[in-house]
Amino acid sequence: MKKTSVVSWVLILLLLSIGLLSAGIAPPKEGGMLPEITLSVPEVPAHQNYLGITKNKKTFRIPEIKAEVVLIEIFSMYCPYCQKDAPVVNELYNKIAQDEKLKNKIKLIGIGAGNSPFEVDFFQKTYDVNFPLFPDSDFSIHKMFGEVRTPYFIGVKINKDGTHSIFYSERGAIEDAPKFLNLILSKAGF
């Protein structure tokens, strides 16, 4: 084989592999697992307590949260639908927090796609959000979640043995908090 054709084949293989990479990661699938992401432990003690994450750590993984179910909202302060849905998500949080049977079982977190710490903090204060929100300034987490459009909700069931599985993965606003909660309870097998 000529030297030039070997070089051509190497370049074609490189091109194909980069092409596959550029095709991107698919959004999380029901029945699947979360990508390997780590989040910074929140600075607010109330949020640390809410998540049951020790203050000694700098970062944690979502399945380490002390809950049976974790609901993740991928949002952005720049997204009109996320802004409009923020009071409804708060209503969902309050419904869970006020229910003695559910408050320790279901926890909510938000990840601000492309949002800086300042922007996440601004969103949190503007809508008086009581659950922890995490910045994702460089979209690195958003990319691992398949660059979903916002808002996007992911429900994760955390098992006692430390394993986990995704039972809900949908794009779009909640719109009706009681209806959404019933759907989550049913899909999580509560």
Partner 1 sequence: MRKYSKIFLTLFVLFFISTYAFGLSDAFKKNIYNPGQLKPIDSKLKVKVGEKAPDFTLPSLSGEKISLSQFKGKKNVVISFVPAAWTPVCSDQWPGYNLAKVIFDKNGAVLLGITVDNIPTLYAWTNQMGDLWFPVLSDFWPHGKVAKMFGVLRSDGVAERALFIIDKNGILRYAHVSDINKRPDLKDLATALEKLNKD
Cβ–Cβ under 8 Å, residues 73 and 108: yes
The secondary structure of residue 170, as a DSSP letter, is: E
**If you write DSSP's letter for every residue of 2-56 in order, what string do you get?**
-HHHHHHHHHHHHHHHHHHHHT-PPPP-TTS---S--EEPPSSHHHHHHHT--TT
Based on CB atoms, which residue is closest to partner 1, 50 or 153?
Answer: 153
Based on CB atoms, which residue is closest to partner 1, 115 or 169?
Answer: 115
150 binds partner 1 (CB under 8 A): yes
Residues 74-113 close enough to bind partner 1 by CB under 8 A: 76-84, 113
Smallest gap from residue 67 Cβ to partner 1 (A): 26
Smallest gap from residue 161 Cβ to partner 1 (A): 34
Cα angle 47-161-182, degrees, rounded to a multiple of 5: 60
Residues that bind partner 1 (CB under 8 A): 7-8, 11, 14-15, 18-19, 21-22, 24, 76-84, 113-116, 118-119, 122-123, 126, 137-139, 142-143, 147, 149-151, 171-173
